[in-house]
Amino acid sequence: FRTLDDVDVKGKRVLLRVDLNVPMEGGRVTDATRLERVAPTITEISDKGGKVILLAHFGRPKGRDAKDSLKPVAAELAKVIKRPVGFADDCIGEVAAKAVGAMKDGDIHCLENTRFHKEEEKNDAGFVAELAKLGDIWVNDAFSAAHRAHATTEGLGHKLPAYAGRTMQAELDALGKALDAPTKPVIAIVGGAKVSTKIELLENLVSKVDALVIGGGMANTFLHAQGVAVGKSLAEKDLAATALRILDKANAANCAIILPVDAVVASQFAANAPSHAYGLDAIPTDGMILDVGPQSIARIHAAIDDAATLVWNGPLGAFELTPFDRGTVVSAKHAAQRTKSKKLISVAGGGDTVAALNQAGVGGDFTYVSTAGGAFLEWMEGKPLPGVEVLKHG
Ligand code: 3PG
């Protein structure tokens, strides 16, 4: 696909799709990572004399809703990029046209939440045409919204010359090296609470990776399926057959499955609840598995040592509760260490995963940490992402 290297943006009106869907509390941005990620594309286009017209969604509003305005986010973005960012109260119509019409080369302007129009999510042709009037080219820098076939994430790519932004390029490059054309052997670590949300992901991974570590609450479902008494642990017992099918598929594909061999168990789901490590044959009937145990951690570390590439999604235990973050934190540190000593290519993504790596203090030490949530999962499921496909085919 084409990138900013393939177009002279000088004097052009560039409709730049970014992901400004940042966490906010009380009207303030609490994590500006996504803003920092899109900064290089914005400043590059601006420096080259393009007019940067930012398109983005925020939240999941049903129609116009002041609490989902992008105005405070645009103000925060201006601080991050240290340049003025104008704002228009609508992304189409007279308001938008007037704002764009007044822009000079190099100016940066953010248009209001595209989801204030229901036509955005419908990828409505009329809405796409309205948006397209505002720009000469479309640049997509929102990998994390690329699983949505919406007007600004996909539709515009059929209407205007389409290019990948720098963050999109970096993301696709990193993800490609992790699963599509990786240095082998490849290990995946998948955690999180539920198997039900990750069935397709696990099925895809077992056919692609050499080893798969399953942790978090979802490991309990697998252990239960194998006949382990998991006490009061979170487990989706109705998915036992699915879990066994995934194990069979892994076996047929020569993918080694690494499940916990011991567990840290407490009787309450609470920070600092008294806890003990038990072997799988001794989980107390009134106990809850809240983390992987020390022997499991040793196995996970050994498996990481055997790998050249790591893809990680989801915490290994209840990482939001100390000390049940231990398995996740020490394994993340181990992977970070291997990465720093150039023995491992490590890619991680998904909402909780980034928070967990940051909690371990190693987010910056992985080869690449994606800020994508749903899009990262769909990529791990092996699904084509509409916002990426359109860049390939136009
Ligand atoms: C995200 O936050 O993962 C993206 O911005 C996509 O948001 P959505 O799930 O509301 O489409």
Cα 195 to ligand 1 centre (Å):
21
Would the CB of 331 count as within 6 Å of ligand 1? no
Closest CA to ligand 1's atom 9: 374
Task: Say whether both 112 and 27 belong to one domain.
Answer: yes
Residue-level pLDDT at 287? 97
Is 351 a catalytic site residue? yes
Domain annotation covers residue 299: yes
Same domain, 134 and 241: no
Q: Quote the pLDDT of residue 352.
A: 81
Which residue among 168, 202, 229 closes a domain?
A: 168
Confidence (pLDDT) at 394: 57
Regarding whether 73 and 153 lie in a shared domain, the answer is: yes
User: Which of 121, 142, 168 is where one domain is finished?
Assistant: 168
Neighbours of 112 (CB within 10 A): 24
Is residue 388 assigned to a domain?
Answer: no
In-domain check, residue 389: no
Going by CA atoms, what residue is nearest to atom 3 of ligand 1? 373
Residue 207 maps to a domain: yes
What does DSSP assign to residue 45? H
pLDDT on residue 351: 76
Shared-domain flag, residues 98 and 198: no
| pTM value > 0.90 | yes
> In this structure, are 11 and 38 located in the same domain?
yes
* 298/214 same-domain check: yes
Domain assignment present for 117: yes
Are 193 and 72 found together in one domain?
A: no
pLDDT value at residue 154: 98
Between CA 321 and CA 327 the distance in angstroms is 12
CATH of the domain at 41: 3.40.50.1260
User: Which pLDDT belongs to residue 355?
Assistant: 85
Same domain, yes or no, for 216 and 120?
Answer: no
Which tokens is 290 given? 């809240």
Full domain range(s) for residue 85: 4-168
Is 386 inside any structural domain? Answer: no
Distance 314 CA to ligand 1 centre (A): 17
ipTM: 0.98
Do the domain assignments include residue 236? yes
Q: Among 18, 19, 24, which is best to mutate for testing ligand 1, by the most ligand atoms less than 8 A from CB? A: 19
Same domain, 272 and 218: yes
Task: Say yes or no: 140 and 15 in one domain.
Answer: yes
382 C-beta closer than 6 A to ligand 1: no
- Asked if residue 157 and residue 44 are part of one domain, the reply reads yes
Residue 393 in any domain: the answer is no
How many domains does the chain fold into? 2
Q: Is 72 in the pocket of ligand 1 (CB under 6 A)?
A: no
Where are the alpha helices (H) located in the chain, listed in sequence order? Answer: 33-47, 71-81, 93-101, 119-122, 125-132, 156-159, 166-175, 199-206, 216-225, 240-252, 294-306, 326-340, 351-359, 374-380, 386-393
Measured CA to CA in angstroms, residue 14 lies from 41, 105, 163 at distances of: 11, 10, 10
Are 284 and 317 a contacting pair, CB within 8 Å? Answer: no
User: Average pLDDT by consecutive 10-residue portion of the chain (394 residues)?
Assistant: 97 98 92 94 98 98 95 98 98 98 98 98 98 98 98 98 97 92 96 91 96 97 97 96 97 98 97 97 97 98 98 95 96 97 95 86 93 93 96 80
On whether both 359 and 329 belong to a single domain, the answer is: yes
Q: Where do we find the tokens 């690449």?
A: 368
